[in-house]
Amino acid sequence: MIIWLNGTFGAGKTTTAAELVHIVPKATIFDAEQVGLMLRHVQGLPRLGDFQHWPPWRGLVVQTATHLLDYLGGVLVIPQTVLIEKYWTEIRTGLDRAGIPLQHFLLHTDRDTLAHRIETDPIETGARQWRLEHLPQYQKALPWLRREAHVVDTSAVLPKQVAEVVATKAGAGDARTRSDS
């Protein structure tokens, strides 16, 4: 199974993913962004501003997830923002064709909380402005995201609690601490 954590930058995807691997048995994080970073080194790809615009990224995410699940088993947790519905449909369809159960979650936070999280993030300091500039794109994507995903409000909830909600809704365990962590 894949638990896909979607949402805009600052919604808590990475933090929730880290909590999920502690409460979901045999859960592993797959950072699909790394596929995009790998593709940036391929000469000849057009410069499109975002690696998600490259069709190979979407296909490779599906293939990589499939191979990882075949090799590792368990649950793959993917914290990755996808705001273009066509791209999400390609990924979802590819995973469905591969026979992989998918639980898609939208981690949603009110705009003021998002702005505060982005502005105070000690790790992504160089990307603050870029992340803030993408908030309108997220707002535009909200209607289809709400249709396609289980919505979890992360505004006033601790990441561990968000992870427990996600794990329960995904049917991926009973939110007990993993014995191997």
Query: pLDDT digit string (tens) for 66-81?
Result: 999 999 999 999 999 9
> Could you tell me which of 137, 19, 30, 150 has the C-alpha nearest to residue 85?
137
Indicate whether 176 belongs to any domain. no
Name the amino acid, one letter, at 172.
A
**The pair of three-digit structure tokens given for residue 101, joined into one six-digit string:** 């159960």
Q: Which residues are within 8 A (CB) of 173 and not within 5 positions of it... i.e. 6 or more apart?
A: 23, 24, 25, 167
Name the amino acid, one letter, at 77.
V
Tell me which residue range forms the domain holding 141.
Answer: 2-170
Task: Write the CATH number for 129.
Answer: 3.40.50.300
> Could you tell me which of 7, 29, 31 has the C-alpha nearest to residue 139?
7
Query: Tell me: the pLDDT tens digits for 3-36?
Result: 999 998 788 899 999 999 999 999 999 999 999 8
Calpha distance 2→22 (Å, rounded)? 16
β-pairing, 75-79 vs 2-6, is parallel
**The pair of three-digit structure tokens given for residue 53, joined into one six-digit string:** 């615009």
Indicate whether 18 belongs to any domain. yes
Q: What is the CA radius of gyration of the chain?
A: 16
Indicate whether 140 belongs to any domain. yes
Residue-level pLDDT at 180: 39
- Phi, psi for 79 (deg, rounded to 5): -90, 95
> Could you tell me which of 108, 110, 101 has the C-alpha nearest to residue 172?
101
CA torsion through residues 91, 3, 61, 96, sign: negative
Name the amino acid, one letter, at 13.
K
pLDDT level of residue 168 (50, 70, 90 thresholds): very high
Domain count, the chain: 1
Q: What percent of the chain has pLDDT over 70?
A: 91
Indicate whether 8 belongs to any domain. yes
Indicate whether 179 belongs to any domain. no
